[in-house]
Structure 1
Amino acid sequence: MEKSKKTDMAFIASMNDDLLQNILLRLPAKPFAFASCVNRSWNIVCNRILSRPKMVSAFSRNPHQFEAVEEAIDKALSDPIRPDFVIANITCGNMEDTLSLITKRVGTRVPVIVSIVAGVLGKEVCNDKAGEVKQNDQGMHICPSFAILLTIGYLPGIKVDVVPVIQSKEETEAMIGDKFVMDIRNFVSEVSDHAAPACLMLFGEDTHATEPIIQKLDYAMPAETIIVGDQKGEFLHKRANELRTVELHKDESRVLAGLIFARDRHRPIAEAGRVQFHSAISRGLSPVDLRYKVANAISTLPKWPATLMTAKRIGEAEVLNGEQILDDIEANLLGNPLWEADPYIGVIKRRKYSVGLDQKPKIMASLVFHQVTGADEQYLTVNGAGIKTGDHFQVYIPDLEVAEASLTAVSSQLRNIMSKPNKQEVVGGFVFAGSGRGDSFFGRPNADTSPFLENFPELRFGGVFCDGEIGRSLSVEEGEEKQVTISQRCLHVVSSVYLIVSYACS
């Protein structure tokens, strides 16, 4: 027996690197980690295997939470990987239990975000086929079945951590917005020679505080920083090297958690710059030729933010009440097959922004969508706050033709990434799809993930359905007296926002 062991050890030691690499490539993540510690030679081979980035997602619709989480982790860790971050999106259930199960498997050094979302989509663990689970259209009154999407990323040359926004009772949105921007900048300055992160993935709570903070972030971050996310949900987070989630004090509440991706100053510039982040947006709204100016706006209680308003048609003096505005919309859309869902108003908000006290405030115009929820003889009622007297808005409606055409454009944009001269290889993908989309909107399954399926059929992508998609873009709006306004558009509805991670092979 002793002789047999010595023979086995001699054989292992005599293996050439190519054969050893071929064997190690087939190991799951945990045995692979043990193998990298065997000796210096094995560690070199393991590092060679992990010289390229990975971002893998696993989707389980197992109704038993513990089993589903374990299935997703097993699938995500079925190949060699050293986790730099973990994102777990669940449709219901206990976030603390999910976080605990993940931490036991990946360790306490890895930053983790767990969020409850309106649905998940991706490649299923049982058959590697694309699928999606979305909450019942009737909302939270129907208890959804449990489903999880787990995403694990390994991005050499990139430093990743979670920066949260926690709001105390005494703090305003302006105060916590400034702090969030400074916390991000401080993290980047600690780990990178760059002034700003390469990418931000945001997960927010369903609170009125998220909109002004996201708008400030859009203002403060340079154009090259990719920003994507889910504005409204629930989340827990654990920063790198924390043993558990931070306990909130009595008067504190969670607002946002940002997964920050910054280029590592300790990696060679050529290596740190090989990982690239891209974004694309598939829109699902069509504008209607109805433009107004808010005559009076009243915000309701912050727990369930809504705005009551009256308005004037652009160029007219008469103030219209809610029923008159709604009659305008219905008359304009009479006989239009698109007139099936509640309309939205796109409000151009011109606001002053600054970070801290050292910078002179600047005006930024942003386009923000609010769904129309009702009307009476006094006011038009829309979801959300932040609308002021004097703001301009236009009416929008969900449009299947616009969404289909936009998906085709996104698919073309993804193909262009691979055609770049530096031989880009797509290694990961994530989609934030509006909860109004999915197969019920398109009349076919997996429409929102079709750009990934058409271009990268082997990619283990993932995504979530959400009630407020975050993605940076510019809008050109024609307003009063035919003046053209270029506005930021960071918050979306009935859209899909895509994050694409690529690797420059040469």
Structure 2
Amino acid sequence: MEKSKKTDTSFIASMNDDLLHNILRRLPAKPFAFASCVNRSWNIVCNHILSRPKMVSAFSRNSDQLKAVEEAVDKALSEPIRPDFVIANITCGNMEVTLRLITKRVGSRVPLIVSIVEGVLGKEACNDNAGEVKQNDQGMYFCPTYAILLTIGYFPGIQVDVIPVIQAKEESEATVGDKFVMDIRNFVSAVSDHATPACLMLFGEDTHATEPIIRKLDYAMPAETIIVGDQKGQFLHKRADELRTVQLHKDESRVLAGLIFARDRHRPIPEAGRVQFSTAISRGMSSVDLRYKVANAVNSLPRWPATLMTAKRIGEAEVLNGEQILDDIEESLLGNPLWEAGPYIGVIKRRKYSVGLEEKPKIIASLVFHQVTGADEQYLTVKGGGIKTGDHFQVYIPDVKVAEASLSDVSTQLRNIMSKPNKREVVGGFVFAGSGRGDSFFGRPNADSSPFLENFPELRFGGVFCDGEIGRGLLVGEEESSSQGQGCLHVVSSVYLIVSYACS
């Protein structure tokens, strides 16, 4: 027996690096972590295996929450990886339980966001088939079907952490927005030689406060910073230096959590191997030739944000009430089968923005969508606040033909990434798809996944369906110009985050 042990030890020690590499790269994440601690030689081989960035997603639709979490985690950790961050998106269930189960598996020092979303899409943990799970018409808080999407990322040369926006009862959106921007800048300056982050992934609460904070972030961050996310939902977060979630005081509420990706000054990566973030969008709206100026706007209570308004047609003096505006829309859409999906108005909001004590606020124009929910003899009613008298708006409707054409454009854009001279390799992807999309919208399965499936069939991507998808600096209509405002907040669209790096 003693001789056999010595023989095994000698054999393991004598294995060449190629053989060792071939064995270790097949290990699941936990045994791989143990193997990297065996000796210096093994550690070098393990570091070589993880020299490339990795981002893996898997979802489970198991109705048992505990089993679903285990299935998703097992799949995501079935290959070597050192988690730099974890995102768990669930369609219902207990966020605290989900966070606790995942923390037990990945460790307490990994930044983590758990959010409730309206659906998930990607590759299933049990069979690697593409699929999606969406909420029914009863809304995101009535959930007959549990599903979880787990996304784990390892990005060498990148520092990652979660920064939350917590709002006190009497605190204004401007104040918490300024603090959020400064918290992000302080984190980046502490870990990076760059002034701003490379990418922000945002997860918001269903509150009126998210919109102005996101638009302030759009103003404060340079164009090269990628910003994507889900504007409305529910979330819990755990930062890298926290052992558990922070309990809020009774007069505080969660507004946003941002997953911050910053270049690491202590682990510089050659330019050829650096992680790069990029975005693409599939638009799902077409404009109707109806343009107005808000004559009077009344904002409702913050808890249920909505706006009541009257308006004038551009170039006319008559003030129209809600029923007259809705009659305009109905007449314009007469015979259009898309009318049943419900119209939206795209409001150009020109607002002054500054951060902290900046002396000269800058006027930024943003295109923001609001769904029309009703009308009477006095007002047109739309979802959401922040609309002011004097704002201009145009009518939009969901359009599957526009969405299909945009999907084709996104697929071409992803294909072009691989054809560039620097031979970039796509290592991860994530989709923020509007809740109005999916199989029922397109009339075919996995449409929102198709750009990844067509170009990277082996990629283990993921995505969520959300009510208010965030996509930085993306114009919503081909007819829109930058002078009319950028569309940072979208509806019936899909925003794609693509993670790549140069192979050589």
Q: Same fold (TM over 0.5)?
A: yes
- Counterpart residue number, 1:139: 139
Correspondence for 1:373: 373
- In the other structure, the counterpart of 1:249 is 249
| TM-superposed deviation, 1:484 | 8.0
Residue 42 of structure 2 corresponds to residue 33 of structure 1: no
Pairs aligned (count) = 504
| C-alpha deviation, 1:138, in angstroms | 2.8
Q: Does 1:308 align with 2:308?
A: yes
Q: Distance in 2 between matches of 1:104 and 1:484?
A: 47
Q: Which runs of 5+ in 1 are unaligned?
A: none
Alignment of 1:154-233 (within 5 A): 154-233=154-233
SS in 2 for 1:485: helix
The match for 1:24 is: 24
Q: Deviations over 1:20-72 (max 9, x none)?
A: 00000110000000000000000000000000000000110000000000000
Show the counterpart of 1:491. 489
Contact 2:476 2:487 in 1 (8 A): no
- Shift in Å, 1:358: 3.0
| Equivalent residue runs for 1:374-453 within 5 Å | 374-453=374-453
Deviations 1:192-214 (A, max 9, x none): 00010000000000000000000
Alignment-mate amino acid for residue 89 of structure 2: N
Give distance in 2, aligned partners of 1:53 and 1:463.
19
- Give the whole-Å Cα distance in 2 for the aligned partners of 1:318 and 1:423: 59
Does structure 1 residue 74 correspond to structure 2 residue 44?
A: no
2:267 is matched by which residue type in structure 1?
R
Matches of 1:142 and 1:265 in 2, distance apart?
A: 46
Structure 1 CA distance, aligned partners of 2:23 and 2:474?
A: 49
Residues of 1 paired with 2:140 and 2:153: CA distance?
A: 31
Name the aligned partner's letter for residue 161 of structure 1.
D
Amino acid at match of 2:400: L
- Report what 2:262 is aligned to: 262
Please state whether the residue corresponding to 2:447 is helix, strand or coil.
Answer: coil
Distance 1:505 1:164, change over 3 A: same
8 A Cα contact 1:474 1:486, kept in partner: no
Amino acid at match of 2:428: G
The Cα shift of 1:472 comes to: 1.2
Q: Per-residue CA shift, 1:164-214, capped at 9, x if unaligned?
A: 000001210000000000000000000000010000000000000000000
2:145 corresponds to 1:117: no
Cross-structure match for 2:292: 292
Q: Which residue of 1 aligns with 2:498?
A: 500
Do 2:272 and 2:502's aligned partners in 1 also have CA atoms closer than 8 Å?
Answer: no
SS at match of 1:338: helix
Deviates more, 1:269-278 or 1:356-365: 269-278
Shift of 1:272: 8.7
Contact 1:157 1:271 (C-alpha < 8 Å) held by counterparts: no
**Structure 2 CA distance for aligned equivalents of residues 142 and 361 of structure 1:** 43
Structure 1 residues 334 and 439, CA gap change in structure 2 (3 angstroms): same
Asked if the contact 1:477–1:486 (Cα under 8 Å) also holds between the matched residues in 2, the reply is no
CA contact (8 A) 2:199 2:225 kept: yes
- RMSD across aligned positions (CA): 1.5
What TM-score results when the alignment is normalised by the length of structure 2?
0.98
1:325 aligns to what? 325
Aligned partner letter, 1:378: Q
Q: How far apart, in 1, do the equivalents of 2:336 and 2:75 lie?
A: 47
Q: Which residue of 1 aligns with 2:60?
A: 60
d(CA) in 2 for partners of 1:77, 1:359: 50
Q: Aligned partners of 1:251 and 1:396: how far apart in 2?
A: 38
Asked if structure 1 preserves the Cα contact closer than 8 Å seen for 2:91 and 2:143, the reply is no
Q: After TM superposition, which residue ranges in structure 1, 4 or more long, deviate above 2 angstroms?
A: 140-144, 473-479, 482-486
339 and 128 in structure 1: CA distance in 2 versus 1, 3 angstrom threshold: same
TM, length-normalised to structure 1: 0.98
Do the aligned residues in 1 keep the contact of 2:353 with 2:362 (CA within 8 Å)? Answer: yes
Contact in 1 for aligned 2:342/2:372 (Cα 8 Å): yes
**1:373-425 deviations in whole A, cap 9, x for unaligned?**
00000000000000000000000000010000000000000011111111100
Percent of residue pairs identical? 86
Shift of 1:489: 1.1
Distance in 2 (CA, whole Å) between partners of 1:104 and 1:269 is: 30
CA distance in 2, matches of 1:84, 1:485: 39
CA contact (8 A) 1:264 1:272 kept: no
**Residue 267 of structure 1: CA displacement?**
2.2
Q: Post-superposition shift, 1:487? A: 1.2
Rounded Cα–Cα distance in structure 2 between residues aligned with 1:32 and 1:306: 52
